[in-house]
């Protein structure tokens, strides 16, 4: 092969190499270093070192899972470390009533609905909480109260403070409480009721000689949402924002709410799962951007496919149509017009603070806010009609079952047909379940479009129990107590209601209906719905 031929080959190969290298140079995308950097401040470095996977002086880490969870959190990237939550500020570093070092007193005025938190003082001085202890040169506590979270998350803490969530443990004196503690037993209350509602955390043995304080085992561990902490405050942010990751994302998931909002007495998660909302959610979850950073998950902006619990009850809503949009709120009652919990449902009035600031809007305002969520996907006419359906379901429960049963039960207690002890007789349980179980299921089902809960788990059982068990048993017990005549009269009066209207609408059918009477009932139904009573 001649020189020239070789040179040509080399030239061709060089060009080919040039082309390939040129291709590489011009198509190479820059890989910008995105390093998720965990910031370990000097005051928390010791904690991370000893409790994390590195361990200390040859011994393996004490709680590597906790530290690993923290490392994965947004807190770790933002510079919030162990001491920021488990440490307590020194006296004077912040106002005493805000300082988690000192104990506060909570008060809840049931009339105005206003809750107050005041600094507890003994001999004019603030009182330190009982569980502070000295550990490796730092003063720390195990039970982190919402007042600590409030140091940074002020708005959320205040909204949570005003909501029914943080007072979930305050059902002392209620039938539920009596049922749990006495009819059942302490273990039932501690491992059952309190795990959702929250315990009153008690220190059984104070810190001594460098040993940590001991919490009473019937009160700790507990992340009930209304937990009464050792600093006197109410609530546990960890109930929804599981520690130590404290993610906003976990709280968006219906499962977080479903830990407590489930079961025969308030099957919200089951109703959601049954409803079209739940179906749409599960189908579309992967595309709903549910893991975007906290505060950024806005209905109408990042997602529209389906709502979750947090969407309707708390989440931010983008402006649409004539609506200005809604901000994220931790006041979970802010958009609920009815309370479906009690024996007879009411629309609670709003709460205004002593300074005139609106803490909770009135029912109309709350409903309008909720409708802002609905109208992101549904037309106003659609929403209006839905609320008529919902209101009528609640009215049906109230007027047909709730009020009469309550009146009759009250009569039995007053006339001493039943003794004064709660929950010790069959009738106690019968009445309890009427309003507390099937009565609630029917109402909740109507509120969140779970038809089976409205019907078979709800009104069906209501009518079956009311007519075939409650009323006959009431009469039987009255007869036994020698008050049969009074009971008969009372039941009749109750079922007739004012001017006998209730009898016509609700209870005449038990005696049979003629053709005209049936027609009248169907007409009444149409009138009720079309009169558009909001």
Partner 1 sequence: MPTREEHPFLRAIPIDIEGLYEKVDEPLPHSSKKWWWCWGGVVGLLFLVQAVTGLLLAFYYRAEPATAHQSIQYITENARYGWLIRSIHQWGATFMVVALFLHMLRVFVTGAYRDGRWTTWVAGVFLLGTTLGLAFTGYSLVYDQTSYWAVTVTGNILAQVPFIGGTLKKFFLAGDGINQATLSRMYALHAQVLPAALIVFGLLHLFFIRLLGMYLPGDEKDIQEERELTAKEGPYHFFPDHMLSELAVFLYIFLVILFLSMIFTAKMGAPADPTVTPAHIKPEWYFYPFYHLLKLVPGTVGVALMGIIGGALLFWPFLDRILFTKVDRALKWRFEVGILVGTVFLAFYLAWAYIEATGPGA
Partner 2 sequence: MTETTGPIKRRSFLGAAVASLLALAGGFVALLAGGFLYPVRKKKGKPIFVCLLSQVPKGSTRTILDPAKRKVILIHTKEGELLALSTTCTHLGCTVFYRPEKHRFDCPCHQGVFDGKGNPISGPPKRPLERYPVQIRNGLVFVQFD
Binding site for partner 1 (CB under 8 A): 1, 3, 6-7, 9-10, 13-14, 16-17, 20-21, 24-25, 28, 30-31, 33
Site for partner 2 in 92-121 (CB under 8 A): 93-94
493 binds, among partner 2, partner 1, none (CB under 5 to 8 A by kind): none
Q: Which residues contact 198 (CB under 8 A, 6 or more apart)?
A: 168, 169, 222, 224, 225, 226, 227, 228, 234, 235, 236, 239
1 or 286: CB nearest partner 1: 1
**What are all long-range contacts of 85-91, with beta carbons under 8 Å and residues at least 24 apart?**
85/144, 85/148, 85/149, 86/47, 86/140, 86/141, 86/142, 86/144, 87/43, 87/138, 87/139, 87/140, 88/129, 88/132, 88/139, 88/140, 88/141, 88/148, 89/151, 91/126
If one asks whether residue 39 binds partner 2 (CB under 8 A), the answer comes out as yes
Residue 55: alpha-carbon gap to chain centroid: 38
Residue 499: alpha-carbon gap to chain centroid: 41
94 binds, among partner 1, partner 2, none (CB under 5 to 8 A by kind): partner 2
State the Cα–Cα distance between residues 232 and 201, nearest whole angstrom.
9
Q: Tell the smallest beta-carbon distance from residue 32 to partner 1 (Å).
A: 8
Q: Tell the smallest beta-carbon distance from residue 4 to partner 2 (Å).
A: 6
151 binds, among partner 1, partner 2, none (CB under 5 to 8 A by kind): partner 2
DSSP state of 507: I
18 binds, among partner 1, partner 2, none (CB under 5 to 8 A by kind): partner 2
Q: Tell the smallest beta-carbon distance from residue 7 to partner 1 (Å).
A: 7
Segment contacting partner 2 (CB under 8 A): 27-35, 53-61, 359-367, 433-441?
27-35
Q: In this structure, are residues 215 and 143 in contact, taking their beta carbons and an 8 Å threshold?
A: yes
78 binds, among partner 1, partner 2, none (CB under 5 to 8 A by kind): partner 2
Q: Tell the smallest beta-carbon distance from residue 255 to partner 1 (Å).
A: 33
State the Cα–Cα distance between residues 280 and 292, nearest whole angstrom.
19
Q: In this structure, are residues 103 and 232 in contact, taking their beta carbons and an 8 Å threshold?
A: yes
Q: Tell the smallest beta-carbon distance from residue 327 to partner 1 (Å).
A: 40
State the Cα–Cα distance between residues 67 and 61, nearest whole angstrom.
9
249 or 486: CB nearest partner 2: 249
Q: Tell the smallest beta-carbon distance from residue 15 to partner 2 (Å).
A: 6
If one asks whether residue 32 binds partner 2 (CB under 8 A), the answer comes out as yes
Site for partner 2 in 146-185 (CB under 8 A): 151-152, 154-155
State the Cα–Cα distance between residues 258 and 267, nearest whole angstrom.
9
Q: Tell the smallest beta-carbon distance from residue 19 to partner 1 (Å).
A: 10
1 binds, among partner 1, partner 2, none (CB under 5 to 8 A by kind): partner 1
If one asks whether residue 25 binds partner 2 (CB under 8 A), the answer comes out as yes
Q: In this structure, are residues 270 and 453 in contact, taking their beta carbons and an 8 Å threshold?
A: yes
12 or 94: CB nearest partner 1: 12
If one asks whether residue 41 binds partner 2 (CB under 8 A), the answer comes out as yes
20 or 152: CB nearest partner 1: 20
414 binds, among partner 1, partner 2, none (CB under 5 to 8 A by kind): none
CA distances 532 to 298, 385, 392, 399, Å, are 32, 8, 10, 18
Among candidates 472, 471, 443, which has minimal Cα distance to 457?
443
Q: Which residue in the block uniquely carries the two structure tokens 């069906």?
A: 460
The two tokens of residue 294 are 């906290």
Q: In this structure, are residues 450 and 274 in contact, taking their beta carbons and an 8 Å threshold?
A: yes
Q: Which residues contact 274 (CB under 8 A, 6 or more apart)?
A: 450, 451, 452, 453
72 or 183: CB nearest partner 2: 72
35 or 414: CB nearest partner 1: 35
2 or 482: CB nearest partner 1: 2
- Interface with partner 2 (CB under 8 A), residue from 27, 29, 35, 356: 35
28 or 355: CB nearest partner 1: 28
Q: Which residue in the block uniquely carries the two structure tokens 């082309």?
A: 19
Q: Omega into 526 within 30° of 0, i.e. cis?
A: no
16 or 172: CB nearest partner 1: 16
Beta-strand ranges (E) seen in 101-259 are 104-108, 115-119, 121-122, 125-126, 133-135, 138-140, 203-205, 214-215
CA distances 316 to 127, 264, 319, 448, Å, are 39, 30, 10, 19
33 or 286: CB nearest partner 1: 33
If one asks whether residue 1 binds partner 2 (CB under 8 A), the answer comes out as no
Q: Tell the smallest beta-carbon distance from residue 47 to partner 2 (Å).
A: 16
- If phi > 0 it is left, if psi is from -120 to 50 it is alpha, else beta; for residue 482 that is left
Site for partner 2 in 51-90 (CB under 8 A): 77-80, 84, 89
- Interface with partner 2 (CB under 8 A), residue from 28, 136, 355, 516: 28
Q: Tell the smallest beta-carbon distance from residue 18 to partner 1 (Å).
A: 10
14 or 389: CB nearest partner 1: 14
- Angle subtended by helix axes 515-530 and 380-396, to nearest 10: 130
Q: Tell the smallest beta-carbon distance from residue 6 to partner 2 (Å).
A: 9
If one asks whether residue 31 binds partner 2 (CB under 8 A), the answer comes out as yes
Residues forming contacts to partner 2 in the complex (CB under 8 A) are 3-4, 7-8, 10-11, 14-15, 17-18, 21-22, 24-25, 28, 30-35, 37, 39, 41-42, 77-80, 84, 89, 93-94, 151-152, 154-155
């Amino acid at each position: 092969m001649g020189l020239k031929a070789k040179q040509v080959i080399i030239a061709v190969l060089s060009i080919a190499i040039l082309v390939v290298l040129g291709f590489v140079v011009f198509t190479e995308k820059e890989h910008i270093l995105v390093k998720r950097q965990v910031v370990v401040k000097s005051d928390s470095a010791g904690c991370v070192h000893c409790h994390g996977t590195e361990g200390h002086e040859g011994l393996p880490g004490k709680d590597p899972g906790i530290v690993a969870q923290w490392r994965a959190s947004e807190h770790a990237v933002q510079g919030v470390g162990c001491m920021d939550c488990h440490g307590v500020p020194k006296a004077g570093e912040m106002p005493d009533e805000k300082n988690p070092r000192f104990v506060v007193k909570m008060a809840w005025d049931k009339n105005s609905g206003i809750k107050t938190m005041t600094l507890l003082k003994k001999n004019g001085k603030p009182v330190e909480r009982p569980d502070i202890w000295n550990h490796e040169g730092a003063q720390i506590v195990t039970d982190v109260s919402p007042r600590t979270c409030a140091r940074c998350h002020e708005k959320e803490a205040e909204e949570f403070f005003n909501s029914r969530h943080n007072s979930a443990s305050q059902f002392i004196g209620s039938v539920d409480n009596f049922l749990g503690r006495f009819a059942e037993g302490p273990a039932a209350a501690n491992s059952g009721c309190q795990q959702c509602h929250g315990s009153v955390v008690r220190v059984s043995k104070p810190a001594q000689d460098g040993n940590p304080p001991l919490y009473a085992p019937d009160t700790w561990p507990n992340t009930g949402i209304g937990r009464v902490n050792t600093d006197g405050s109410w609530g546990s942010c960890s109930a929804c924002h599981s520690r130590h990751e404290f993610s906003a994302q976990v709280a968006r998931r219906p499962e977080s709410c479903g830990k407590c909002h489930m079961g025969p007495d308030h099957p919200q998660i089951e109703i959601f799962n049954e409803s079209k909302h739940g179906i749409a959610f599960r189908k579309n979850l992967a595309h709903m951007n549910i893991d975007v950073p906290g505060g950024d998950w806005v209905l109408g902006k990042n997602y529209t496919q389906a709502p979750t619990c947090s969407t309707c009850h708390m989440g931010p809503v983008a402006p649409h149509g004539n609506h200005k949009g809604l901000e994220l709120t931790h006041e979970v009652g802010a958009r609920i017009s009815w309370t479906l919990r009690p024996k007879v449902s009411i629309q609670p009035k709003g709460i205004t603070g002593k300074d005139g600031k609106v803490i909770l809007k009135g029912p109309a305002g709350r409903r309008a806010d909720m409708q802002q969520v609905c109208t992101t996907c549904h037309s106003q006419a659609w929403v209006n009609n839905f609320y008529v359906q919902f209101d009528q379901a609640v009215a049906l429960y109230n007027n047909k079952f709730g009020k009469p049963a309550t009146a009759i039960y009250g009569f039995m207690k007053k006339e001493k047909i039943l003794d004064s002890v709660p929950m010790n007789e069959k009738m106690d349980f019968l009445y309890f379940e009427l309003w507390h179980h099937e009565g609630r299921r029917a109402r909740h089902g109507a509120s969140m479009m779970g038809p089976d809960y409205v019907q078979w788990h709800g009104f069906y059982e209501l009518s079956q129990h009311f007519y075939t068990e409650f009323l006959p048993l009431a009469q039987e017990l009255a007869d036994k107590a020698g008050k049969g005549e009074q009971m008969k009269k009372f039941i009749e009066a109750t079922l007739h209601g004012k001017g006998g209207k209730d009898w016509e609408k609700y209870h005449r059918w038990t005696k049979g209906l003629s053709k005209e009477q049936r027609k009248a009932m169907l007409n009444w139904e149409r009138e009720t719905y079309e009169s558009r009573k909001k």
